[in-house]
Structure 1
Amino acid sequence: MSSNSAEIQSEKNPPNGLFYSILGQHPYIPFSPQKPRNAPSVNLNFTNNPSVSTILQSCNGLFLCGNKRSRTFYVYNPTTNRSTLLPEFRRGFPCGKTLAFDPVKSPYYKVVFVRYIVFDQFVRGLTYQIEIYSSEIGGWRIGGVMKSGKLQIDKGVYWNGSIHWLSTGLVGNSWRFHVDSQVFDEMPTPPVQLSSYWRGDNYFLESFDHLHFIEPGTQFNVYEMRRDYSEWFVKYCVDLSPVITAYGVPRGRHQYIFTKLALIRDEKDSILVLRIPEKVLKYDLVDGSFEKLIEFEDYEVNGILRYLDAEGFQYIESLCCV
């Protein structure tokens, strides 16, 4: 990116909608009742490399794209439909990949990769090597080493200038890595049952400058982290039983079949976007109302309907150069 094109936004833009990734497709779901005329579409055909197959993460308008088993990664702006290929990462394979971008602070973005280098089976500890790509510099550099218990390295979240990783809940603390100063600090772990970390429907992400953790299940708390990292506090108490009843959501082996795609905040609203068989819903976290956003056909195998899990990625309009 040239310095002539570098501009800092005066304030954060709220999310406009959501892309969700399923079977290699990335449909767009607007949050307003009327779909805009110029609704964005994710086009991952900007390269002939078949390894670039999906969105891995979104951060304030930019997407990190690639393949969970690939060594080739792109940063993509769906608003401008432009992308950049990151330099090849030669030091092993990253187990954690996090995009760090705050247009209010800087027009440049960083990509933080984490890889394991040591495992101590006696203390159940790991040593993590941090590597950082900067769009301002245009290359990779070593970003320090952290020793800790097991962390959810594959679910790093950028917020408040830092990358955040939760403990698995069995051993050790949760940690954050300040991207600019390259300082590691411990942080509180959400006050939930340890076993919940191993279940598939917990949720840990940022929206409109708020960091959230959502418990598994149909009756749960939505926690928010205080900006000074003093504690997680309960922001919302949620009961999805009316949703389950209204739409006849089936029950699987251990729980009802649905996925929390995203928690979306802006100046006025707080909504939870839910994926159930053949539908995506919007649930108002303040008054408990809900409505259907889109309807679609689920995947069938031999005539049997198969519910496929999906991931949600917030779309925020951005003119940032990549």
Structure 2
Amino acid sequence: MSSTISPAADAIASNEDLLTEILLRLPAKPLLKFKSVSKEWFSLISSSQFCLFHNRRYRDNASLTAAVLLFDCGTTHTPPTGFHIVPSKNQCSKVPFFEYLGDSDFRIMQSCNGLLLCRCCDKFQYLNYFIFNPSTNKIRIVSFPQAEVEGFVYAVNLAFDPLKSVHYKIISIRRLVWVAPRFQIDIYSSKTDSWSVKVLNFTKPDDVWLNCGVFCNGAIHWEGGGRSSLYLDVENMCLKAMPTPARMLDAPEGSYSESNRFLGESRGHLHLAVNYMPLCLQFNIFEMAADYSDWFLKYRMNLETVVKGFPEIHLYPDEEGDNQVSAMCVIRSKIDEVSTVVVFVNGKVISYDLHDGTSTKLCDLESCPKTHGHLSDYEAFHVYQYFETLSCV
């Protein structure tokens, strides 16, 4: 049986500009398969210019939402038992898996616009870092430069803005042993495939942990649990103090302490979600001002409203059965006042639309390790947004 190509299809295939416009409108996963259509398609889809245009189109699309949420249960683990993969909007989606890691124990350290910074531990208990794109199933092992001064890698962070470039930077913070308090920052650029060094003298507040940073608008942010916060201007490589909402600021009536804080980013906006004791039913969502002058209260929420309509979700009515809010994630729409909050509460994941007040249960977390009572700043679980992307590692 012979096949024929219609004149219209042949005209599209032979017009690279028109073909590019069509392919740019497709998600990342189908495009990876379309690379095998021909050498021309492979070359087009693999080009850095196409990748940049595709990233810009999808990252700036008003309907863009994370393909999945990755919920880290707070322990080093062997995939897939130590974290949950939560499809967004209760939709079935092909989600990333990590079989290539074998039996290696690993943790997700940061999600940055589709790329994941991960850490694994080998059989000699030596920590290795790598960049991973689950869409392409490609990884790059981070090979740190030889240190000229004795010290150790204190923290590693990732900076990647697909709206500006197809390239990313790895920020390695090395604690120098003999000169305190002194840190050396090694910067890897995927554009040049090389490292550069910046030595900074600064006093790191005890409550600020420089791992698990949140990248937003060209800076990496670290929240310090209500006392101190920092952010690193990646372009100018300088550390700056970041305002922090005072503990119990705008706390709901009847609250006597904070339970947890969750720092996150969505569409270029930095958010800090705080929930309160004694019942962990009340929480506020703060947003950082564009000029970094202060945080302002964006939303005030009550878990009883969020889970209304789901009788299987039990909220404990007293302090003895402290409700566990283990993570929160704010997802903004391109329209400023329309946002979704995803709440991980008592083993369930609930998506709450702040615009129309509707709730959707996304999944259960029954197999996730449980903790009871208050979580400290260092024990708080993390949730990472994952976007499908063609970006190279």
- Aligned partners of 1:146 and 1:184 also within 8 Å: no
- Say whether 1:282 aligns with 2:341: no
Distance 2:156 2:239 in 1: 17
Tell me the residue number matched to 1:241.
304
Alignment of 1:55-204 (within 5 A): 55-67=108-120, 70-88=126-144, 91=147, 92-117=151-176, 126-150=181-205, 151-170=208-227, 174-193=229-248, 201-204=260-263
Question: Partners in 1 of 2:286 and 2:108 — Cα distance?
Answer: 26
Query: Could you list the per-position Cα deviations for residues 173-197 of structure 1 after superposition, in whole angstroms to 9, with x for gaps in the alignment?
Result: 5332211221233332224349x9x
Deviates more, 1:88-97 or 1:255-264: 88-97
CA contact (8 A) 2:90 2:361 kept: no
Alignment partner, residue 319 of structure 1: 390
Equivalent of 1:265 in 327, 332, 343: 332
Indicate the larger mover: 179-188 or 57-66.
179-188
Unaligned runs of 5+ in 1: 301-305
SS at match of 1:242: helix
Distance 1:202 1:238 in 2: 14
Deviations 1:114-143, CA, capped at 9 Å, x for gaps: 2433799xxxx9443322222112233223
Q: TM-score, normalised by structure 2?
A: 0.67
Bigger fraction of residues in helix:
2
**Letter of the aligned partner of 1:46 in structure 2?**
Y
Shift of 1:66: 1.3
Q: Distance in 1 between matches of 2:187 and 2:86?
A: 32
Note the alpha carbon deviations across 1:169-220, whole angstroms, 9 max, x for none: 44xx5332211221233332224349x9x97621111122110111132322
The aligned amino acid for 2:272 is F
Cα shift at 1:274: 2.0
Q: Which amino acid aligns with 1:152?
A: W
Shift of 1:226: 1.8
1:87–1:139 contact (8 Å) kept in structure 2: no
Alignment of 1:8-87 (within 5 A): 8=52, 9-11=55-57, 12=59, 14=64, 15-22=66-73, 23-24=77-78, 25=80, 26-36=83-93, 39-43=94-98, 45-47=99-101, 50-51=104-105, 53-67=106-120, 70-87=126-143
Q: Which deviates more from structure 2 when the two are superposed, residues 57-66 or residues 129-138?
A: 129-138
CA distance in 2, matches of 1:61, 1:182: 23
Pair 1:50–1:313, CA change in 2 (3 A)? same
Whichever residue aligns with residue 100 of structure 2, its letter is F
Given the superposition, is the C-alpha separation of residues 296 and 228 from structure 1 closer, same or farther in structure 2, using an over 3 Å criterion? closer
Greater strand share, 1 or 2? 1
Note the 1:197-236 alignment, pairs <5 A: 201-217=260-276, 218-236=281-299
**SS state at 2:91 partner:** coil
1:54 maps to a residue whose letter is R
Letter of the 1:294 partner, please give it. C
> What is the Cα deviation at residue 299 of structure 1?
5.8
Map Cα deviations across residues 250-270 of structure 1 (whole Å, 9 max, x no partner): 477694122124222232542
Report the identity percentage.
Answer: 31
Preserved contact between residue 183 and residue 200 of structure 2 (Cα < 8 Å): yes
**Residues 258, 274 of structure 1: 8 Å contact kept:** yes
User: Do structure 1's residue 292 and structure 2's residue 348 form an aligned pair?
Assistant: no
Cα distance change, pair 254–109 in 1 and its aligned pair in 2 (3 A): farther
Gaps of 5+ in 2: 1-45, 250-254, 373-379
With the length of structure 1 as denominator, give the TM-score of the two structures. Answer: 0.80
Letter in 2 for 1:148: T
Give the structure with higher Rg (CA): 2
